[in-house]
């Protein structure tokens, strides 16, 4: 199977620009990054789907390898719908942000800044744990009823 190098280059550019835009503070740029990543994923699925072939409808006398696999096409349609839903959701968030603050830039939250400057030591998770000791050692530690050397208890 040979892949189209142009599709791979376009896919790489879409992923790179999409990730760059996702790291911005402007919600509009984040939305554009999500759209570009969605299109990059569609090209990735299309490229991974293999070569073109006959329509996936049964024809008498046609080998199975000559058909096109319909699964990548179904995955691309699903990815388009998911990208559309996320885009609609992000447009709603951008609109709400614009109505409330007249800006679409995500500002630093004071509480997040305070938490980020705290120590990362957590007493419950980071304290040393003593070795596991038990007070039930010795002969009586076997379950009642079956003793390996003495047989069943009476």
- Phi (first) and psi of residue 134, to 5 degrees: -130, 150
Q: Is residue 125 part of a domain?
A: no
Q: Is residue 107 part of a domain?
A: yes
- pLDDT, residue 88, reads 97
Tokens 């969605």: give the residue. 38
- Phi (first) and psi of residue 146, to 5 degrees: -120, 110
pTM of the entire predicted model: 0.66
3-state secondary structure 57-108: CCCCCCCHHHECCCHHHHHHHHHHHHHHHHHHHHHHHHHHHHHHHCCCECCC
* pLDDT single digits (tens) 103-124: 888 887 888 888 888 887 777 7
Q: Is residue 90 part of a domain?
A: yes
CATH assignment at residue 110: 1.10.287.3510
pLDDT tier, 79 (very low <50, low <70, confident <90, very high otherwise)? very high
Give the residue numbers spanning the domain of 109: 5-51+68-116
Q: Between 47 and 147, where is the model more confident?
A: 47
pLDDT tier, 142 (very low <50, low <70, confident <90, very high otherwise)? low
Q: Between 44 and 68, where is the model more confident?
A: 44
Q: What is the average pLDDT across 123-129?
A: 76
Instruction: Give dist(CA 58, CA 35) in Å, integer.
Output: 36
How many helices (H) and strands (E) the chain has is answered by 5, 2
| Report for 23-27, 87-91, 94-98: range of highest mean pLDDT | 87-91
Q: Is residue 140 part of a domain?
A: no
- pLDDT, residue 121, reads 76
Q: How many domains does the chain have?
A: 1
Instruction: Give dist(CA 89, CA 38) in Å, integer.
Output: 15
Q: Is residue 141 part of a domain?
A: no
User: Taking the CB of residue 36, how many other CB atoms lie within 10 A of it?
Assistant: 21
pLDDT over 70, % of the chain? 84
- pLDDT, residue 2, reads 66
With a cut of 60, say whether residue 58 has pLDDT above it. Answer: yes
> Please, which residues have CB within 8 angstroms of residue 121's CB and are 6 or more apart in sequence?
none
Q: Between 119 and 54, where is the model more confident?
A: 119
With a cut of 60, say whether residue 1 has pLDDT above it. Answer: no
């Amino acid at each position: 199977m040979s892949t189209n190098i142009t599709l791979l280059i376009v896919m790489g550019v879409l992923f790179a620009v999409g990730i760059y835009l996702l790291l911005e503070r402007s919600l509009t740029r984040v939305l554009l990054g999500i759209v570009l990543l969605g299109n990059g994923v569609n090209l990735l699925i299309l490229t991974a789907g293999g070569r073109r072939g006959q329509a996936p409808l049964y024809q008498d006398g046609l080998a199975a390898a000559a058909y096109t696999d319909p699964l990548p096409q179904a995955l691309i349609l699903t990815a388009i719908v998911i990208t559309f839903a996320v885009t609609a959701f992000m447009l709603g968030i951008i609109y709400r942000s614009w109505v409330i603050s007249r800006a679409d830039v995500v500002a630093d939250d004071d509480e997040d800044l305070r938490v980020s400057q705290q120590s990362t030591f957590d007493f419950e998770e980071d304290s040393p744990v003593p070795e596991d000791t038990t007070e039930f050692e010795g002969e009586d530690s076997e379950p009642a009823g079956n003793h390996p050397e003495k047989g069943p208890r009476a």
